[in-house]
């Protein structure tokens, strides 16, 4: 039942089965959380028993990425100087006793705002991506070891800032996924090649974070991992769900992860419903099971709890999702109505707001950066929750107007 509490392997208990997943707020300034960031999270403190921050980049060369509006950036966690603001974010999120989780990431090739600033962008291999206008550079072995250490240092900062846990972002085409992907990772050293070697980077990041947590955090500090269940780019297969379940089996058997968060377009997505890219082609070729990913990943969790997400916009869908997995994450609906979970839990569904008018956006402390972003997608208000992720990732009008400087490494 959605109302039921849940206890993670480490002993931490969340009050109900709702989760707010990581969502970029477009509210940072030079990597620092701003008052807009804090107000946004304070308003969402009851969005679930657990609330996850947007992705924070752990290395100076790991972002910013996917900033949809110039001057409104991704948040950073690569230096202790960010801790005071992060503390305020954690406090705002935890004010009603729900768990606050910080998502940690290195954006790798997706650091498009870096490219826009004329800085070098790094990835496992210097692949010429048809969908990127800028060049990417191969990381050296020493760079990779530094990034692994940076994940550990960022986890320490999350502990120091008072978060209840971290989510390691292994999904959505960012660096950890790039290492696991045979398409993005063409290395011939220990970090690439066979499936086993492509698992090395995710595995060592998880182990490093776990070691930091064991040393510095309270016993019930939560550590989760997010993965996209498959990666298909038309003809180029990054990995199939068969490989992804092997990775998860390794991660959850080598370390005691508290949860696995499947990043999906729909809570009941099935093989072939590849995230974001070439869905039709993928569906034709890779639909080798009619079971949802939520079910297919279960045998490989080794005690970790499972979170699913994707297009949950009413109580009925939330209940259906809760039958497939332990926890149910609700993203875009929480941008529009951060009291969605509370309303479902107290059977007050007719009070749920589904259209984001300008007045509602203000009332629910949507950040100016997100208001701009969604307004650019749907000129003028009101914004509906149908604004889709594909258009967000491709960038809206506002993004396309942004210019690369003359020193940017364009192809």
Ligand X SMILES: Cc1cc2nc3c(=O)[nH]c(=O)nc-3n(C[C@H](O)[C@H](O)[C@H](O)COP(=O)(O)O)c2cc1C
Active site residues: 174
CB of 255 to ligand X, least distance (A): 20
Residues 6+ apart with CB under 8 A from 11: 219, 220
The tokens describing 54, both together, are 């947007």
Residue with smaller CB distance to ligand X, 92 or 329: 329
Contact call for residues 361 and 383 (beta carbons, < 8 A): yes
**Dihedral sign (CA 179, 185, 191, 193):** positive
What are the backbone dihedrals phi and psi of residue 239, each rounded to the nearest 5 degrees, phi first? -165, 155
Q: Which residue has the tokens 């995710």?
A: 202
Helices (H), 44-184: 83-94, 112-116, 141-160, 175-180
CB of 17 to ligand X, least distance (A): 14
Q: How far, in Å, CA of 88 to CA of 74, rounded?
A: 17
CB of 346 to ligand X, least distance (A): 21
Phi and psi based region of residue 118 (left: phi greater than 0; alpha: psi -120 to 50; beta: remaining): left
Q: How many CB atoms lie within 10 A of CB 287?
A: 12
CB of 120 to ligand X, least distance (A): 22
CB of 74 to ligand X, least distance (A): 8
Q: How many CB atoms lie within 10 A of CB 379?
A: 8
Q: State whether residue 302 is helix, strand or coil.
A: coil
Residue with smaller CB distance to ligand X, 21 or 124: 21
Contact call for residues 9 and 302 (beta carbons, < 8 A): no
Residue with smaller CB distance to ligand X, 103 or 187: 103
Residue with the shortest CB distance to ligand X: 331
Binding site for ligand X (CB under 6 A): 21-24, 54-55, 103, 169, 171-172, 226, 263, 309-312, 330-332, 389, 392
CB of 190 to ligand X, least distance (A): 27
What are the backbone dihedrals phi and psi of residue 61, each rounded to the nearest 5 degrees, phi first? -90, 15
């Amino acid at each position: 039942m959605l109302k039921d509490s849940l206890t993670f392997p480490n002993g931490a208990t969340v009050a109900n089965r709702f989760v707010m997943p990581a969502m970029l707020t477009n509210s940072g300034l030079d990597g620092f959380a701003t008052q807009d960031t804090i107000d946004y999270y304070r308003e969402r403190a009851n969005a679930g028993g657990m609330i996850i921050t947007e992705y924070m980049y752990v290395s100076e060369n790991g972002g910013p990425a996917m900033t949809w509006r110039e001057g409104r950036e991704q948040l950073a966690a690569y230096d202790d100087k960010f801790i005071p603001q992060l503390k305020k974010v954690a406090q705002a999120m935890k004010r009603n006793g729900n768990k606050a989780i910080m998502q940690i990431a290195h954006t790798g090739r997706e650091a498009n705002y870096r490219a826009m600033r004329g800085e070098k962008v790094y990835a496992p291999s210097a692949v010429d991506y048809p969908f990127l206008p800028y060049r990417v550079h191969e990381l050296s072995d020493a760079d990779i070891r530094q990034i692994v250490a940076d994940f550990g240092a960022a986890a320490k900062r999350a502990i120091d800032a008072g978060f209840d846990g971290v989510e390691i972002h292994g999904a959505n085409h960012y660096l950890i996924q790039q290492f696991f992907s045979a398409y993005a990772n063409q290395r011939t050293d220990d970090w690439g090649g066979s499936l086993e070697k492509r698992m090395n980077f995710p595995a060592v990041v998880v182990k490093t974070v776990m070691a930091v947590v064991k040393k510095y955090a309270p016993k019930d500090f939560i550590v989760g991992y997010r993965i996209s269940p498959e990666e298909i780019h038309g003809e180029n297969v990054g990995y199939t769900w068969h490989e992804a379940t092997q990775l998860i089996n390794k991660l959850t058997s080598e370390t005691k992860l508290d949860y696995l968060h499947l990043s999906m377009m729909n809570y009941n997505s099935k093989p072939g419903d590849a995230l974001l890219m070439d869905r039709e082609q993928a569906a034709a070729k890779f639909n080798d099971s009619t079971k949802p990913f939520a079910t297919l990943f279960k045998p490989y969790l080794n005690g970790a709890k499972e979170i699913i997400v994707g297009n949950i916009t009413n109580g009925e869908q939330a209940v259906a999702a809760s039958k497939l997995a332990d926890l149910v994450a609700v993203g875009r609906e929480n941008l529009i109505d951060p009291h969605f979970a509370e309303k479902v839990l107290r059977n007050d569904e007719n009070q749920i707001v589904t259209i984001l008018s300008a007045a509602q956006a203000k009332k629910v402390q949507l950040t100016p950066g997100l208001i701009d972003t969604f307004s650019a997608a749907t000129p003028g208000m009101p914004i509906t929750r149908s604004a889709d992720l594909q258009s967000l990732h491709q960038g809206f009008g506002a993004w396309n107007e942004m210019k690369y400087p003359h020193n940017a490494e364009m192809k």
